[in-house]
Chain A
């Protein structure tokens, strides 16, 4: 009985969401509601210097608002953990911890994904111009760097999603190399 009531409430809230105008604020507000979860990812990197793309797979875990862990399982186990202002990178016996405040470019880079997840528009617009197309069920958010130093590295970030779930992220680097990250949620806490 209670479950029915709850799903009824959920439906009702979905209906309200659908009626509201769909814009960047709406999308980011929805994303901000998402408190975290686990997902499988497949990452494909297209590099001019290589004859074929590099493919990596693994799992990502997001914990709102500022913890993102990317655990690559193939071809080489590797963990990247973004926690507040540090980026820890672990591969085999090698561990590197970078304080992002030292690396403004790296910070802007990783903050694009984290601030999208957290729905933090103000932080996103500090470094990027935002453009949104599509509707709530299939939206595309484009981030174009406005900061000169980031633009030197990165042409564009394209985030694709449905509702409050991000489905893919594509980074297009300044030199034309690009990387596609497809995300498939495993569970919702």
Chain B
């Protein structure tokens, strides 16, 4: 059955509608998952979970500025009350004096179930004498003020034991009774959202609520609210990417339409040329959506470049088929174009194997887009355009270009010298060429990052860099495992290897531990004579300690603590953020603090690993994992780029069947890569992973042009239109990628700034190194 133009169009339209339906139902995301590993190790999985859903990812830091200290403190209190009443927030802290009373009261009321010092030995005569004597000594010290009101109820000092394990000294400063920055100029609040860190919509709502409530609170006072945290970064990144997708696509499309109209001077041809582009862009999103489930915003932003690349095939068709007609074009040009499509597919296809999901998506998106655009050009466009309706050029353009081509040959030696200089420069700089960390890829602006660092330092907010992780099938086993890990960590604390650690088992011990502690409490009848004997020589008379006897007796009948008992205290929050139920069971996080307590201090990682070896505890250095992750990405990208390059070279060798012709095609591409990378480095561009990928793409895309010159060199008839079509196609591709260079999203910017100039240079150098017999 021969397809008529109408039927072809109908089929195409149906495919497009099906694609649109898939895109309509796709999930779009702009969160940090773009950068997180697709196949994480156990350590990386902890990192991924923490970044996406961990307590730290749900923290927002707030600072109230302006006015005087009294106005800021009042605003801080009012905002705290309003936010705490909203279901969107799990906790809102501002350090208000008295806000810790609930926690202290809870610890005191349950001290005999919670204190690790509660053992049968502690309630013997000797144990009591030692514990009370220690408490009395403490009375004479600065800690005594805290202890004194509780002495007759808690002469063994269990409350001190409990508080001693907490992180003292990490609280922010206080001005007018609420948290304030070191210089006192800002009142500070710490907010934990109910929405997960990966729930960008939820974070956006929470942030809007905070701003709304603040506007209602500060009234006539000229106060400002500053806000930072992972949630804000995610929301801002999404806004940036959304705006960029629209802006970049508009710029790219506008410029390309202008160029095409200048060449075609026909709205109909222009519209037809955009057909493969639209098909490709849609197919790209459909492929990514089907393969990954979620489409990253940055991937869609890459559409600006795809437009420039995908429009090439229509340009070749319309410009080259002008004289030859469709069949002639298919015969003479299509094989070269097909080879070019394949090199592009190989280049972008190499990215599919990346463990960096963002990169894999970019690869699949472009691959599907380019392939679709080429197929639509080959099979749909000719039917829709009708026979021989291409552009008939006067030949003047080609004549001008041919003249330029002859001049281009003079550039050979200067170009070789330049490329040699570039290679030498790169070789000399190879150690410091690539940025060593992932932050270079972050969309967060420097101003936002600086504000975040400042608020974090002011608040002493946990950076949760070091985590010990225990997993277990159920909560009780997990808590018991956390207690065993705690025993090993206690030794590290005692040896000064680490400064301390947090554990949910501190506030919610396993039932077995609680029961053992409760069982070690003696009856009042047994305790009274022991106490009298223990305190015979003490300045504290046993006669004053009836409240103690009563409390111990009550504790013997106290029910064991469950998670519900913590409700209404900040401790519930601590336990919930450290004791997590996941798909595979329960996991406990034990954040470790470096000794010395200084912010940013480092732990002796090897010593900690050695101490935890064989205990089933996973130790994770989040920063180390993050840096290693980027190192893995860089290594993998270098490997994939090399493999992609080799694959392209093999493909070309198979098609050209001549090592000399292969060298002729590859030489200008390799020189372009060297010159572009050295140029970027000299221009002060901070080179990272995506520049590296850009190098591969210069070869994959630039080879399309180099192949035409090879074809001409191989003795093909030099049609008017060949050179023009190449010049126009290279221009649109350079516009597409070049537009990405305008982006403030580092991933897009890096590819744009590398591939845009790279493609133009590849065309120019292919012309310069084209063998002599290309000239008529």
Contact = CB atoms under 8 A, between A and B. Distances in A.
Nearest to B545: A49
Nearest to A44: B140
A54 B139 contact: yes
B174 A49 contact: no
Interface of B: 136-143, 145, 148, 151-152, 164, 168-169, 171-174, 182, 494, 539-541, 544, 597
Contacts of B137: 75-76, 78
Interface stretch (A5-13, A95-103, A113-121): A95-103
15 contacts: A45-B139, A49-B151, A49-B152, A50-B136, A50-B540, A51-B539, A51-B540, A52-B539, A80-B142, A89-B141, A99-B169, A101-B174, A101-B182, A102-B173, A102-B174
Given A49-B152, A97-B597, 13 more contacts: A49-B540, A53-B539, A54-B139, A54-B140, A54-B539, A72-B140, A78-B137, A89-B142, A96-B169, A98-B168, A99-B171, A101-B182, A104-B174
Contacts of A96: 143, 168-169
A78 B174 contact: no
Nearest to B595: A95
B539 A89 contact: no
A98 B151 contact: no
A47 B144 CA distance: 11
Among B141, B151, B544, B597: residue with most chain A CB under 10 A: B141
Interface string A76-118: 1010100000010101011011110111101000000000000
Among A49, A52, A53: residue with most chain B CB under 10 A: A49
A75 B173 CA distance: 34
Nearest to B173: A101
Interface residues of A, number: 31
A80 B142 CA distance: 8
B140 A102 contact: no
A89 B143 contact: yes
A102 B141 contact: no
A87 B142 contact: yes
B169 A97 contact: yes
Contact of A51 (B142, B171, B541): B541
Nearest to A76: B137
A79 to B, nearest CB: 10
B171 A102 contact: yes
A43 interface: yes
Given A47-B148, A50-B539, A50-B540, A93 B169 contact: no
A89 B138 CA distance: 11
B173 A54 contact: no
Contacts of A51: 539-541
A56 interface: yes
Contacts of B539: 50-54
Interface string A32-57: 00000000000101010111111010
Contacts of B164: 94
Contacts of A97: 168-169, 597
Contacts of B174: 101-104
Contacts of B145: 153
A20 to B, nearest CB: 38
Given A47-B148, A50-B540, A54-B539, A93 B494 contact: yes
